[in-house]
Chains A and B, each alone.
Chain A
């Protein structure tokens, strides 16, 4: 009897101790991030195909320009020049959105982020001495453009002649209406050649780096918190582009594709990233998961609606662009905050 009681006391002590202290919840489930890498690799293949095509066209354009002794007046008489220019623009219009569709991942992952600066986001050295692009363009004729800005911007400005130094200044009637319309100028062949060569080379480097990249949960969450809240920058550039400001536009880029299309592409890529970590978040907090998933879908739909309106002919005023942009930014900030909360609950570190 006594022994039983004594044993009972010890057992009770142990039981009470075990019962009053709850064991900490531990997250042992890991996210399947293979879809992110597969998506990225698919896009890098599409990108390198498009930039290689662009480089080939630019090389041919340079060839016929060289044959014409770089006499652009004479070149304008060659129908192949206009054909090549239109084909190059078409290739660029395929390459640029392809990159935008993966920009959310490239720019948001610390180990890949430098490619984003060089390809699509970096300012020129003159605009941003500290964080602008670091490469120079050396042309076959000896001209050097130091730190000219991101490569999509440079090639766009060359193809659409929005920067005088990149253009021949010679009119070519691309649409055959006999009038000198916007961007109906022959590009500088050397600039186009070197710009597209560099673009293709960096795209290939990115493809190789993406191949070597092993995504982590921290990468995925960091990409989301870095890229989702960049809406104001994109709406800012939309506001200053020809699509809103018309001939008063202060920007030399974003003339070919509306920034609203770019925003949709970026958000599409980020939705792919979130889908990979969504089960992880749902297991920790279903409320945060639905808020983030719904928020991303709604934000995408919101921008798509604006883009559709623009495609249907609505020209937004600067104040309207500001109004819609600030709404997008507010939504993006909320989604970002929710993603940061989910990461904290999952004890996933966000890279600074």
Chain B
């Protein structure tokens, strides 16, 4: 006993210590643990620079120890990768002990990129399992795209995981967004590592070169699965060998072998894009490519006279536009190679030739010929939908020209600034202005005025440049124009006003709910006698089931939409067309009293058949009555769900839910008054009022859908000259000053009103016929 008790205490103590150790390790995030590994290896490298191998070895051992906390979770995602990382750390230990600076630098690159690889795999696994917490925690262990003057690091992955945690993003969508973000980032890092290795090589910084080659190999491994998928296993193996050769060349300090391996890697990576662009992004890049390349000869011609550069700024602009075109082409190259490799290669070569021609001060006609050939090839090569007008790329290009304008203005080069102004205005005219005139004529006028004479107290750029206004005033003019363009971009990509969506959703829910209440009230009211009252219960059960079924239908419809989200704006158009169909049915049926009375009569006939005067309720009767209750309510629910999906796509789930709740409150009140207080409301008037409101919703939706179809290029845009419709009317009622939008809205309104008169006429004819028949019968009698 005296032996056992201290042992027990010792055991407890050890357990507590162990737990404390585990808790301590768990308290540190994966990012913090990986940073410890990285820092320890950096310290080891720093120590080796000072020739201190002992400190270097100690630091490398510390890195090994820190890695052990990460290893099990990485091993769960990829055991081979975890083992490989452990081997790398052993190699680092050896290199540090032996004072091998190059080997330590190279393996440090491998280890860091390997840790990022492990983190990415853990995140992917967690997302597949729907484990947002693990994904969120491990996603912090990552590299980001470097921030530049023109772009900031993206946050797609972070937002997607945050959306998944909040239940706003589907698991598959989160995984797709995270994969695209991480692949895109690591492809950028791969390119940067290769460029940095080249720069280090040129300066004979052998340690940096060794480290960057290790990083590059690791980044490629991270993307290797995508590479193998796109290029095949054989190419993948060749690429891996090329990266190995590059690392070996750096370790051996062999410049010739390094250059050979680099050339091979460049060849193998040409056109490779780990995270393929979405259709929208591809269209945007294609738009940039076409617009930027078109501007190159225009700028160049202005800067050259008789084989000599007469205006540096114009030449610089030509080079800038060429670089922009080349960057856009690079993003599209992978996709284009699969369409037509020969033409794609030719375009790539011609883009390089354009740069050479500019630098060699070639004849403008020669440069123009090269660009014309590129344009011709691109017209044949780019898919038609990528070549359609795209507001995003239009604005990108206009912004870049405004940057040039700003530079020229700062230097007091008013003539050059004026030239840029005209160029930016031409781009506006060529692209987005037509749609802007149609969708937001006030904004179109504001943008145009800011290019020319001015708007609401702000002088326009033409005035400012023409009067050689001080630079700060010109900059203010540019700022105002940028703001107007940003607003334009927002308007062209915007949907309806949230208030309008809430109102529309509430109207539909209230209207359909009202119908459900009336059907239910009518069925139940007809079961008045004590014997008949027992038939009420199954009908109510059916109605309750219909409510549940409606919610399930909602979840299914919403999930289907999430799957189809990659269709983007086109999905919105398709679903809006379905919703319009639903609305047309509702309005048409409403005005045809035949619908309403016939529909009600149908329920009553079914009810009569089911209860048929039998005093004792049977199982089959119960089932029949449940079905009756279910079908009478579910049809309304189904229509509502279908319709609301288009609103969800337009304004998001939460906005629509607010409308649904508002409409549901209205239905609940009507239900309470009908069933609980048993007060008879003016149902006919309510049906008429809600019917008219639905007519307004229909016309609004037709306007928005027409705008959406015009946005995706499925319908032309023909502005109505002189018709100025305030932008808020577009947002609230779908009213835009285009022939197509107004025309279809008038048609929809005519259809609804026409169907009303048609129904009235049918009723009249029926009444007349009935009267005639009655007269004939009485005469006969």
Hey, which bits of chain A sit against chain B, CB under 8 A? Answer: 2-3, 5-7, 9-14, 16-18, 20-25, 125, 129-131, 134, 225-226, 228-229, 287-288, 291, 318-320, 322-323, 326-327, 333-334, 336-338, 340-341, 343-345, 350, 352
CA distance A66 to B220 in the complex (A): 67
Residue from the list A13, A23, A134, A226 in contact with B147, Cβ < 8 A: A226
The CA of A11 and the CA of B196, in the complex, are separated in Å by: 65
Are B140 and A131 neighbours in the complex by a CB distance under 8 Å? no
Contact in complex: B29, A341 (CB < 8 Å) = no
Interface stretch of the complex, out of B57-65, B162-170, B292-300: B162-170
Once the chains are docked, how many angstroms separate the CA of A62 from the CA of B508?
83
Task: Say yes or no: is B536 at the interface (Cβ < 8 Å to chain A).
Answer: yes
16 A-B pairs whose Cβ atoms sit less than 8 Å apart in the complex: A2-B675, A7-B675, A7-B676, A9-B544, A9-B547, A25-B166, A130-B316, A130-B407, A131-B407, A291-B31, A318-B205, A319-B205, A337-B143, A340-B154, A344-B155, A352-B152
Q: Is the CB of B158 within 8 A of A345?
A: yes
CB-CB under 8 A from A333, the residues of chain B are 143-144, 146-147
Contact indicator per residue, chain B 553-581, by CB within 8 Å of chain A (1) or not (0): 00100000000000000000000000000
User: Within the complex, what minimum Cβ distance (angstroms) separates A18 from chain B?
Assistant: 7
Question: Distance in Å from the Cβ of A249 to the closest Cβ of chain B?
Answer: 16
**Is B671 positioned at the interface, with any CB of A under 8 Å from its CB?**
yes
The CA-CA distance from A3 to B514 in the complex, in Å, is: 17
- Contact between A9 and B158 (Cβ–Cβ < 8 Å)? no
Question: In the complex, which of the residues A12, A229, A288, A341 contacts B547, with contact meaning CB atoms closer than 8 Å?
Answer: A12
Known contacts A3-B676, A17-B660, A125-B411; A345 and B162 CB within 8 A of each other:
yes
In the bound assembly, the distance between CA atoms of A345 and B136 in angstroms comes to 13
Contact across chains for A3 and B675 when beta carbons are under 8 A apart: yes
Q: Choose among A10, A16, A130, A340 the residue that contacts B551 (Cβ–Cβ < 8 A).
A: A16
Interface of A is mostly: helix
Please give, as numbers and ranges, the residues of chain A lying within 8 Å of B32 by CB-CB distance: 291
Residue pair B140, A288 in contact (C-beta under 8 Å): yes
Q: Which residues of A contact B158 (CB under 8 A)?
A: 341, 344-345
| Highest count of chain A CB atoms <10 Å: which of B147, B196, B675 | B147
Among A10, A291, A322, the residue within 8 A (CB) of B668 is A10
Residue B524 lies at the interface, judged by CB distance under 8 Å to chain A: yes
Q: Is the CB of B540 within 8 A of A14?
A: no
Which A residues lie within 8 Å of B660 (CB)? 17
Interchain CB contact under 8 A, A24 and B147: no
Residue B522 lies at the interface, judged by CB distance under 8 Å to chain A: no
* A240 to B8 alpha-carbon distance, docked (Å): 66
Q: Known interface pairs A130-B407, A322-B203. Does A229 touch B653 (Cβ–Cβ under 8 Å)?
A: no
Most buried by A among B316, B410, B412, B551: B410
A7 to B674, CA, bound (A): 10
Binary per-residue interface labels of chain B (211-242) against chain A in the complex, 1 for a CB within 8 Å, 0 otherwise: 00000000000000000000000000000000
In whole angstroms, how far apart are the Cα atoms of A343 and B196 in the complex? 29
A9 contacts across to B, CB distance below 8 A: 540, 543-544, 547
A112 CB to closest chain B CB, in angstroms?
13
- Interface flag for B86 (CB, 8 Å): no
Contact of A322 with B205 in the complex, beta carbons under 8 Å: yes
Which residues from chain B contact A17 at a C-beta distance below 8 Å?
Answer: 551, 657, 660-661, 664
**Cβ-based interface call for B145 (8 A):** yes
A24 contacts B654, CB within 8 Å?
A: yes
Q: 13 more A-B contacts (CB under 8 A) besides A323-B45, A323-B208, A340-B155? A: A2-B524, A7-B676, A13-B547, A13-B664, A17-B661, A17-B664, A23-B654, A129-B312, A129-B313, A129-B316, A134-B471, A333-B143, A340-B144
| Cβ of B42 under 8 Å from chain A | yes
Whether A134 touches B29, Cβ cut-off 8 Å, given contacts A7-B671, A129-B316, is no
What residues on B are CB-neighbors of A338 within 8 Å? 140, 144
* Closest Cβ–Cβ distance, residue A194 to chain B (whole Å): 20
For B166, give its contact among A22, A125, A350 (CB under 8 Å). A22
B200 within 8 A of A: yes
Closest-CB distance, B162 to chain A (whole angstroms): 6
Chain B residues lying within 8 Å of A25, measured Cβ to Cβ, are: 166
Please give me the residue from chain A that is nearest to B550 by CB atom.
Answer: A13
Would A130 and B313 count as touching, CB distance under 8 A? Answer: yes
- Chain B, range 663-719, C-beta contacts under 8 Å to A: 664-665, 667-668, 671-672, 675-676
Q: Are A322 and B208 in contact (CB under 8 A)?
A: yes
Inter-chain contacts of A13 with B (CB < 8 A): 547, 551, 664
Give 6 nearest A-B pairs by CB, closest first: A337-B144, A344-B155, A340-B153, A341-B158, A130-B407, A6-B675
For the complex, what is the distance from the CA of A288 to the CA of B162, rounded to whole Å?
13
What residues on B are CB-neighbors of A352 within 8 Å?
150-152
Interface presence of B379 (CB below 8 A): no
